Structure 1
Amino acid sequence: MYTYINQEHSALTKILDNYPTQVDAALKDIKLDAQNWLVLATGSSINASRSAKLYMENIANIHVQIEEPFNYTMYESVSRNTDLVLGVSQSGQSTATIDAIEKVSRQRSVNRIAVTSRPDTELPAACDTTLDILTGKERVGYVTMGFNATVLSLMLLALRFAKQSGTIDSTQEKAELNEFANVIGRIPDVIKNSEEFYAQHKQNMLTPRQYTAIGYGATVGTAMEFQTKFVEVVRYPAGGHDLEAFMHGPYLGIHKDDVQFYLVTNAQQVVLEKMAALRNYEANYIDNIFTINLGRNQDTGRHNSLNLGAVDDPFKAPILAVTPIQLFAWLITNDHGVDLGHQIFTDFSEVVHNKTTVQDYV
């Protein structure tokens, strides 16, 4: 897992260097007036999709609807307004996502794109084209590199669609690519700074009653991935929440021994003030509160702020925001003495059929 975290810089650089080749292949024959995109994904793939959603909508002037595929297949109706369907599964073998794609195909004639690291699997076979995220098979079930590769690939898909549909011009496209390159170039420093921050604060992060992450805007998907990753590897109760949603019930479940993380990015002043008000209130009742700060105002007065430098476009911030979370999950797991190389529940996929084949993890 740690190896893959450290490969994120090179993996995302490779994706950017291959732009627009892999994206053009996915967009082949896609109608340029497609305005309503449906994304079907679960697990880390849906968290990645939510992380990319606001950038996609903003750059391409489209609407992105994201659905859990099993619930969509069993209970939802296929909207007549849907222009394009994306099935997102890093393994390409999520049975729920494949079933949902097939449901759409039976009811509507609409283009389908598989977003995956494995173009030779069942999901691409159920779709018209494939967006290869170019990471190959991630041999660890607790995905990290592939998560960020999915986020970036979805963003670049929308960027290229925006250019092809005339929403932006070549100058704007190039400017966006330069911004992505600058953000990706910061990943090694983010890893280094996060490791140093953890070494400084690890005793306060190790044994809470529960872990919580709170974000807003594009980092809501990051907060949800926090929940997924901490439950998967740290194996403690964990929650990832939208800022406002946390204030409507979940705040009542706090405990003084909890550990909370606040994800701060550039935002409207009213959002920043709401986040600060919540953090300050919670600090009256919780001993260990940390901030992962990618906003313009770096928090030099707070001992527990991991200041990573501003990402000017907050919709690109998830590319960096998730890396400290992945790293903290790995480091805490190590310090708990959990051996991730020892697989648990090895018959799970065979019994519940969440994947088309039993996954071969190291």
Structure 2
Amino acid sequence: MDKPTMLTYIYSEQAKMLSILDQYPLNIDKALNKIPKDVNKILVLATGSSYNAALSSKYYFEKITNIQMEIQEPYNYSHYEKIDKHIDAVIGISQSGQSTATIEALKKVKQDHPVFSIGVTSLPKTEISEETDTILDILIGREHVGYVTLGFTATVLNMMLLAIRIAAVNHVITSEQELHEIQDLKKLALNIDNVINKTESFIKQHIDSLTKATQFTSIAYGPSVGTCSEMATKFSEVVRVPSQGFELEAFMHGPYLEVNKDHYIFFIETNSQKSIYEKELSLKTYEKKYVSNLYTINFREETSEDEKQLDLINIEDEYKVPFISSTVFQLLAWYISKSKGIDLSKLIFTDFSTAVHNKTVPQKYV
């Protein structure tokens, strides 16, 4: 069997997500074993793509559970933050299960303010399991490529499923509503291959221009801000040019001043409140006067003749968009890096983890 690539894992997303959904709620119930009934605030500790996955699921989680979710970078949390005594539970996310900062932050919480804890990982028998009460296995096994894609999407989905189950067990939603949410996510999962096909056609049309880019920016609002954060991470990892992701309003306060004719900007459009969508449109219209390479990733019903707009599927609930929206940027990152001649199978900075101790053990990737 050939060595897997980043694209191999992207292509496996639909089948894997459907498999995860088929194992609901048994897999989630294992993670929720003995969780307190009166949880009002959850702390999430995560860094890198795990942080972006938490951010991508945050607003859906809060909306369906009525539980506040606070997301913190674990290294800064361990060394500078005061522990909030109102935290009722903590979730540590580490796909490898070996992120040093996340494990150390979990230890700090356990020592100072013991609360119920869940480790979210693809490798349940790793070090993170020693610092948490239960483990939520995201059910994808080891992702042998360092530039995670499948694991990111699976983490977002599992966090959403965790929210649904908490809401159902606590009677915040009815069993009928629980079933509706699961069916909705299944419909989205069944569209992942469709999203991949449309995105690949779009990339083929624009790849020559995208390859020339020296700077990328993505802009979104609400739940899709997590997608922008992951876009910035993935593009930095594999396209290796300056890449940023901004919340809509934040872009208007300073970052807009760096825009130039060579800038490449992606807008993510979803079914938000009318006032938010209109604000996004006003910014996009303004930037079009100065940026030729402005692209729209559209998850609304309205389509456009603009060749730089990628019309995907209409997702009525904007809170669910992050489940599949990052797949678009995973594909963009892969194909742009290939077009630039970057061989992702040739590992760089292989001594990094040993030098800076960001993992409990050096990671082995293909």
Q: Distance in 2 between matches of 1:66 and 1:220?
A: 14
Q: Which amino acid counterpart does residue 272 of structure 1 have in structure 2?
A: Y
Q: Give 1:199's aligned residue.
A: 204
Shift of 1:10: 1.0
Q: Give 2:329's aligned residue.
A: 325
The CA deviation string for residues 219-244 of structure 1, in whole angstroms up to 9 with x for no partner, is: 10000000000000000110011010
- Map residues 1-362 of structure 1 onto 2, 5 A cutoff: 1-298=6-303, 300-362=304-366
Q: Distance in 1 between matches of 2:324 and 2:136?
A: 22
Task: Give SS of 1:226's match.
Answer: helix
The CA deviation string for residues 197-229 of structure 1, in whole angstroms up to 9 with x for no partner, is: 011111221112200111111110000000000
Shift of 1:81: 0.4
Shift of 1:301: 3.1
Q: Distance in 1 between matches of 2:319 and 2:359?
A: 31
Percent identical across equivalent pairs?
48
The CA deviation string for residues 119-163 of structure 1, in whole angstroms up to 9 with x for no partner, is: 010011110000000001100010000000000000000100000
Q: Is the 8 A contact 1:32 1:161 kept in 2?
A: no
Root-mean-square deviation (CA, aligned residues, Å) is 0.7
Stretches of structure 1 that go unaligned for 5 or more consecutive residues are none
Shift of 1:309: 1.7
Shift of 1:297: 2.3
Stretches of 4+ aligned residues off by more than 2 angstroms: none
Q: Distance in 2 between matches of 1:320 and 1:112?
A: 27
Task: Give SS of 2:56's match.
Answer: helix
Task: Give SS of 1:90's match.
Answer: coil
Q: Distance in 2 between matches of 1:282 and 1:47?
A: 26
TM-score by length of 2: 0.98
How many corresponding residue pairs? 361
Q: Distance in 2 between matches of 1:242 and 1:27?
A: 32
Q: Is the 8 A contact 1:209 1:255 kept in 2?
A: no
TM-score by length of 1: 0.99
Q: Distance in 1 between matches of 2:349 and 2:325?
A: 30
Q: Distance in 2 between matches of 1:209 and 1:341?
A: 23
